[in-house]
A and B are shown apart, each in its own frame.
Chain A
Amino acid sequence: MTMPPSPSSSSSPSSSSSAPPLLEIDRLRVDFPTETGVVRAVRDVSLTVRRGERVGLVGESGSGKTQTGRSVLGLLRPPARVSAARLTFDGQDLLGLSEREHRRLRGRRMAMILQDPRYSLNPVMRVGAQVVEAIRAAEPELSRRAARARAREALAAVRLHDVDRVLEAWPHELSGGMGQRVMIAMMIALGPDLLIADEPTSALDVTVRLQVLAILDELVRARTMGLLLISHDLPLVAGFCDRVAVLYAGRVMETVAAADLAKARHPYTRGLMAALPSVDGPRGDLPVLDRDPAWLSEGGGP
């Protein structure tokens, strides 16, 4: 059996590698019992995210990347079964948390950005009211005026130029990119330490996509947040993240520094990279990925 390339050798090149990780996932499993047996969506995924680090979680549909993000946020409900050797956020055990404690944590310290802003915003409420409400839900002691000031700051931080107009707008009046910026503003207004973004840009146009990522990039740097970016888009993650974990069938195939993705060693990663069409590449047939059944039994992370 081929051994996966050692992932630990390529940990974050950033400065804070000595500090304890913000998020530590060790051998996470997510099982869904169904009529025909247990579906093992995530099998022994291990991953760390440090402050100021942008970690990518890439994989094709059904690879378990979304379920991984959701288990960190405590969003998986029974019948889904989440277990792990260790699942901690800033030293705090996440597995033992009650629903209520999880919700508190989600509001203030961990935030999630979803794929399509159109489904995340309430269509019958003005944008400003929603941002203010989100802030006050997490910090009830804040006055309405203070919350509004915080909302303005957050909207300015995501480079929305006409903050007043956006505050008064209805969600349907926003473009996709603006909607996603509002969502990001809503999340960072609470000053989270960890941001989990699940395909935050796949519903957006390519140029808008880059703008939204640039904003995320800037925020992560300025606030030394940890970012877990879940995506199917390898080239995008390669350019954006510090480290990338490649998932296949619920397992981590390898974890590499994003800059080294082009030189990835695992045949799955290499297969994915090779299958990408390119503007200047050869115009013959694209290499088709041959899935090796052995991949299903390997992996497991560091």
Chain B
Amino acid sequence: MITVRDLTVTFRAGNRLVPALRGVSLDVASGEVFGLVGESGSGKSTVLRVLAGLTRDWSGTLAIAGEPLGRRRTRAFHARVQMVFQDPYGSLHPRHTVDRALSEPLRIHRRAADRDARVLRALDDVGLDRSFRFRYPHQLSGGQRQRVAIARALILEPAVLLLDEPTSALDVSVQAEILNLLRRLRSERDLTMILVSHDLTVVGHMADRLAVMRHGQVVEEMPVDRLARGEPAHPYTRQLLRAAQGYDPATAEALLAEP
């Protein structure tokens, strides 16, 4: 479904060139949930932004469903690939009601028929009461905002959903609700997902396969059950895995001893 070959991105910071991605290659099968794990600066979000078309300076080859992608994306592409952002407080326009946020994609793609019905259905799909339709973002909690963002991403019925840390700004109990929602939507709509997260437990819970990234490169790629068995091959992944399981003095001491 999604093919990434040799993706390289270099950012310019002042007059320095900072490599963000150094030859990343990935394959995501149709209907698969693919996890991208890494710490800050690993380039995991950059992969997503390049795929979405938000970052235009890249080299390599990208294809979705066999069609190669160029620098500029067509309107048809946006109907097929959508994204959910990390910060539910920043991804909704503060002056637009939920109704406007949800109907705008329909308007852009000239899907005029039954717009009202589709907005209501989108609210139902993400488990939001219909009374939320005309609220502004500041009248919503973080979890509710994230549901609106998911509804907005799904209203055009895309095949691919890109998720950039969709729950890291949320409380644990709300995170569980959103993860359950994503899981249900995925099975109902046969979505292909790329889930970017710094949290190995979230990826371990959601993904079928995952890649671990560090310094702009893929360190290791594996099916999720290898992670569940605690058998990643790369020491960095093992380190992340231990770190994800809470604080343990021995692990922490070992990390400190490293240069």
* Segment from A1-9, A163-171, A282-290 that makes contact with B: A282-290
User: Does A148 reach chain B (CB closer than 8 Å)?
Assistant: no
Give the A interface residue count (CB, 8 A). 38
Option from A205, A214, A238 in Cβ contact (under 8 Å) with B252: A214
Cα distance, A48 to B173, chains bound together (Å): 27
Which residues of B have CB within 8 Å of A237? 247
The answer to whether A232 has its CB under 8 Å from any CB of chain B is yes
B61 CB-CB contact with A under 8 Å:
no
A214 touches B256 (CB 8 A): yes
Interface residues of B, count at CB 8 A: 40
A239 to B239, CA, bound (A): 16
Contact B253–A214 (Cβ < 8 Å)? yes
Q: Which residue of chain B has the shortest Cβ distance to A287 in the bound complex? A: B176
B4 contacts the other chain (CB 8 A): no
Residues of A within 8 A of B245 (CB): 235, 279
Binds B, one of A29-37, A117-125, A270-278: A270-278
When C-beta atoms are compared, the residue in chain B nearest to A281 turns out to be: B205
Any A CB within 8 A of the CB of B206: yes
CB neighbors of B among A244-294 (8 A): 271-272, 275-281, 283, 285-289
Task: Determine whether the beta carbon of B176 is less than 8 Å from that of A286.
Answer: yes
Contact of B205 among A213, A214, A277 (CB under 8 A): A277
Query: How would residues 200 to 215 of chain A score, 1 for a CB under 8 Å from any chain B CB and 0 otherwise?
Result: 0000011111110111
Task: Among B205, B229, B245, find the residue whose CB has the most chain A CB atoms closer than 10 A.
Answer: B205
Q: Tell yes or no: A142 within 8 A of B by CB.
A: no
Main secondary structure of the interface of B (DSSP, over half): helix
Distance to closest chain A CB from B258 (angstroms):
9
- Number of residue pairs spanning A and B whose beta carbons lie under 8 angstroms apart: 109
Pairwise interchain contact A206-B243, C-beta atoms closer than 8 A: yes
Q: Report how far A209 CA is from B252 CA in the complex, Å.
A: 9
- Please give me the residue from chain B that is nearest to A272 by CB atom: B172
The secondary structure that dominates the A interface is helix
| From A207, A213, A234, contact of B240 by CB (8 A) | A207
Q: How far is the CB of A221 from chain B (nearest CB, A)?
A: 10
Check A276 against B255 for contact (C-beta < 8 Å). no
Contact B176–A279 (Cβ < 8 Å): no
When the two chains form their complex, are residues A280 and B228 in contact, meaning their CB atoms are under 8 A apart? yes
Contacts from B to A (Cβ < 8 Å) = 39-40, 142, 171-173, 175-177, 179-180, 183-184, 198-202, 204-206, 227-230, 239-241, 243-249, 251-253, 255-256
Q: Show 20 residue pairs from A and B whose CB-CB distance is below 8 angstroms, ordered by the A residue.
A: A60-B173, A61-B142, A176-B40, A206-B198, A206-B199, A206-B200, A207-B239, A214-B252, A214-B253, A236-B247, A238-B247, A275-B173, A277-B176, A277-B201, A277-B204, A277-B205, A277-B206, A279-B227, A285-B183, A286-B205
**Which residue of A232, A234, A278 has the most chain B CB atoms within 10 A of its CB atom?**
A278
Residues of A within 8 A of B (CB): 60-61, 159, 176, 205-211, 213-215, 217, 232, 234-240, 271-272, 275-281, 283, 285-289
Q: Would you call B227 and A275 a contact (CB within 8 A)?
A: no
Say whether A279 contacts B252, CB under 8 Å: no
Hey, which chain A residues are within 8 Å of B246, CB to CB?
235-236, 238-240
A89–B175 CA distance with the chains assembled, in angstroms? 37
Nearest Cβ on chain A to B239's Cβ, whole angstroms: 6
A287 to B247, CA, bound (A): 24
How far is B242's CA from A239's CA once the two chains are assembled, in angstroms?
12
Question: Assuming A205-B39, A235-B246, is B255 touching A279 (CB within 8 A)?
Answer: no
CA distance A289 to B246 in the complex (A): 21
Do A286 and B179 touch across chains, with their CB atoms under 8 A apart? Answer: yes
CA distance A232 to B240 in the complex (A): 20
CB of A285 within 8 A of CB of B180, answer yes
Q: Which of B198, B241, B248 contacts A279 (CB 8 A)?
A: B241
Complex Cα spacing A288 to B175, Å: 9
Chain A residues near B255: list those with CB within 8 A: 207, 210-211, 214
8 further interface pairs, Cβ-Cβ under 8 Å (given A208-B39, A240-B246, A288-B180): A207-B255, A217-B252, A238-B246, A276-B176, A278-B204, A279-B227, A285-B180, A289-B176
Give B184 Cβ to nearest chain A Cβ, in Å: 8
Picked from A210, A214, A234, A240, the residue with its CB within 8 Å of the CB of B172 is A234
